[in-house]
Structure 1
Amino acid sequence: MTNSSASEAVAIGAAKRTPEVIARRVRGLSDRAIAWLFIAPTIVLLLAINVFPLIWTVYLSFTNYKANRAARGVEWVGLDNYRRVLTDSDIWHNMLVTGHFLLWTMTFQVLIGFGLAWLINKNFKGHGVWTTVILLPMMLSPAVVGNFWTFLYQPQIGLFNYIVGFFTGVDPSSFEMIGSVNLAPWAIVIVDTWMWTPYVMLICLAGLRSIPDYIYEAAEVDGAGPLRTFWSITLPMVLPFLMLAVLFRAIENFKMFDLVVELTSGGPGSVTELASINLKREAFEKWRTGLSSAFAIILFVTVFGAANIYVKALNRVKQR
């Protein structure tokens, strides 16, 4: 019996076992109606999980609601929460810290990730083993990575301090990375780069391996050197993949929370307090639920708008 005959037999058996009442109703439905019948549970689930919380958050952003005083009356405050967020100097400082974090993590991850992808694409001996080793950091939990690097950054026993001391001549026991106002932001950038550069490398490697060999062969016949080939063929064809990696990582880093908290425990001062951490403080420490809802909506609109503009630029690059 062929596969098609077996499928037909299964379909006929299922139809015979279907109650007659249901069978008559199904036979009266169009193909479009049947399709909607199948996807309706998924749509309801998405509405319940994604859309309703967003609508509820928008509503709360116009009130003075506090989650720790739910029984207290809720007052409509209009745009007051949005005005307070947009005129708060501390929040603008947190946004600046977040922008600094995004800029440097994206720069290092793209440069190092693309460099590693370019090397692994050479298919040297043992490249499979090295690829697996490089991918290990991104397989770990951010909380585990934060705790692991906290020990590495310890002034007395931290391996990172001894490495820095070896190359700079600084006494490792006096070198404090996390506790330093100037160095703490860079400590977070180093850890995030170490953890997520493999992710960028994978996307870049997919882009490099999607380039047909005949294009390089044609360039070689035309007498193009390695540098010319890189700038005219490799980089333009990998650029959409690079931009896609930047988009994914920028969205994730904009809402970075657990890694920073595990590394710094909220210090020193506010130099490592990202916008997401400030949002958590407003919502679950100060219990300003209405204000934090307005803050969350502003962050959402910021990310959504920037991502929309970026995707349009990405589409233009793809069409070249």
Structure 2
Amino acid sequence: MIRRGFFQNLRKRKIAILFVLPTALTLLAITIFPLLYELRLAFMSWELAMSASPKFVGIQNFIKILTEDTRFWASMKVTATMMTIGVTIQLVLGFLLALLLNRLGPWRSPFVSLLLIPVMIAPVVAGFQFRMIYHNQFGPLNYLIELATFGRSQGAAWIASPNIALFAVMVADIWQWTPFLMLIVLAGLQSISPEMYEAAEIDGASPWQSFWHITVPLISSVVIVGILIRVMDMFKLFDIIYLVTGGGPGNVTETISFYTYLQGFKFFSLGYTAAMAFIQLIVIIVISQIFLKYQKRLRGAA
């Protein structure tokens, strides 16, 4: 009887493995293999426009990126600026919208659906949209400024001026992704039991005290996950940059993902590009670990 049960369990395991095997092989083919191939390529010098075969150079690509490539650090600075200022504004606006929606009751659903429209728009479409909005001569933004000032101002060169181009790109990203953080914060607010607020009110707590001592601690863990997702997205920010400014003027709006694209698909430095991509991966892993450790600490405190 025991032996029969053993063979039945073994058969079930084999069937389960057969069902999982195609998915596992697919993941291996499209994720693990390219990652290992890129890691190997990061230690090679392969200028596709000049040489047909790669040459092993060890860690020279990494040393060159970290010590000589000022453009790499400039693009990292642009990414960090958008990551800190842009995500902070998105979080504040998303938080305020979520608090407002949380009080609407049965009227909440249609407003949430309307506010989520920017998130559902493809980044390519959003990029074209803002490129038209910011157009110097035919853009509606400058037209509205001209109307508001009775013709005394012709607006601004939103994507041609080094002083405001990054701000213009940041506005486009904020418009598209603020509803995402709003939805995450709203989900956190909906998970808080109303009885906790009722108990706090009975104890004499003011709405402000309830907010700081009940709302913020209970949704902080969820909010950190949302921030982490947006921070990782900033390292992949490409579509809007490519379509709105093309990294210009100069390299004022050139993010690290856009610079990586230029190295790989315009300059054809494949080994150098692979090394740059792995440096970004390491930075993202470090940032993720910091956020997750902080989230774990908050859960422990709660």
Given the two structures, how large is their TM-score scaled by the length of structure 1?
0.86
Aligned equivalent of 2:4: none
Report percent identity of matched pairs: 35
1:242 equivalent in alignment to 2:202 = no
Offset at residue 152 of structure 1 (A): 1.1
Aligned equivalent of 2:184: 203
Greater CA drift, 166-175 or 46-55: 166-175
Q: Is 1:135–1:198's contact at 8 Å kept on the other side of the alignment?
A: yes
Q: Is 2:146–2:155's contact at 8 Å kept on the other side of the alignment?
A: no
1:24-103 equivalent positions in 2, closer than 5 A: 29-68=10-49, 72-87=52-67, 88-103=69-84
Identify which of 282, 285, 291 aligns with 1:304.
285
Q: 2: CA distance between counterparts of 1:118 and 1:170? A: 39
Q: 2: CA distance between counterparts of 1:125 and 1:27? A: 52
Aligned equivalent of 2:274: 293
Pair 1:169–1:224, CA change in 2 (3 A): farther
Offset at residue 170 of structure 1 (A): 8.6
Pair 1:167–1:113, CA change in 2 (3 A): farther
Q: Which letter maps to 1:217?
A: E
Q: 1: CA distance between counterparts of 2:227 and 2:151? A: 35
RMSD over equivalenced CA pairs, Å: 2.0
Given the two structures, how large is their TM-score scaled by the length of structure 2?
0.91
Q: Which letter maps to 1:45?
A: T
Q: Is 1:178–1:187's contact at 8 Å kept on the other side of the alignment?
A: yes
1:190 equivalent in alignment to 2:194 = no
Paired residue secondary structure (2:45): coil
Identify which of 108, 121, 124 aligns with 1:143.
124
Q: Which letter maps to 1:86?
A: L
Q: Which letter maps to 1:58?
A: L
Paired residue secondary structure (1:29): helix
Offset at residue 64 of structure 1 (A): 1.2
Offset at residue 148 of structure 1 (A): 0.8
Q: Which runs of 5+ in 2 are unaligned?
A: 1-6
Q: 2: CA distance between counterparts of 1:148 and 1:73? A: 42
Q: Is 2:41–2:270's contact at 8 Å kept on the other side of the alignment?
A: yes
Aligned equivalent of 1:318: 299
Pair 1:169–1:93, CA change in 2 (3 A): farther
Identify which of 89, 92, 95 aligns with 1:114.
95
Q: 1: CA distance between counterparts of 2:160 and 2:260? A: 23
Q: Is 1:162–1:172's contact at 8 Å kept on the other side of the alignment?
A: no
Offset at residue 28 of structure 1 (A): 8.4
Aligned equivalent of 1:223: 204
Greater CA drift, 261-270 or 284-293: 261-270
Offset at residue 37 of structure 1 (A): 2.8
Pair 1:76–1:186, CA change in 2 (3 A): same
1:248-287 equivalent positions in 2, closer than 5 A: 248-287=229-268
Q: Is 2:247–2:255's contact at 8 Å kept on the other side of the alignment?
A: no
Q: Is 2:86–2:174's contact at 8 Å kept on the other side of the alignment?
A: yes
Q: 1: CA distance between counterparts of 2:86 and 2:152? A: 28
Q: Is 2:118–2:175's contact at 8 Å kept on the other side of the alignment?
A: yes
Aligned equivalent of 1:4: none
Offset at residue 90 of structure 1 (A): 1.1
Q: Is 1:260–1:272's contact at 8 Å kept on the other side of the alignment?
A: yes
Paired residue secondary structure (2:53): coil
Residues 130-189 of structure 1: CA deviation (Å, up to 9, x unaligned): 222211111111111111111111222322234556678894424111111010000011
Pair 1:38–1:124, CA change in 2 (3 A): closer
Q: Which runs of 5+ in 1 are unaligned?
A: 1-25
Residues 211-262 of structure 1: CA deviation (Å, up to 9, x unaligned): 0011011001001111111111111111111111101111111110011111
Offset at residue 66 of structure 1 (A): 3.4
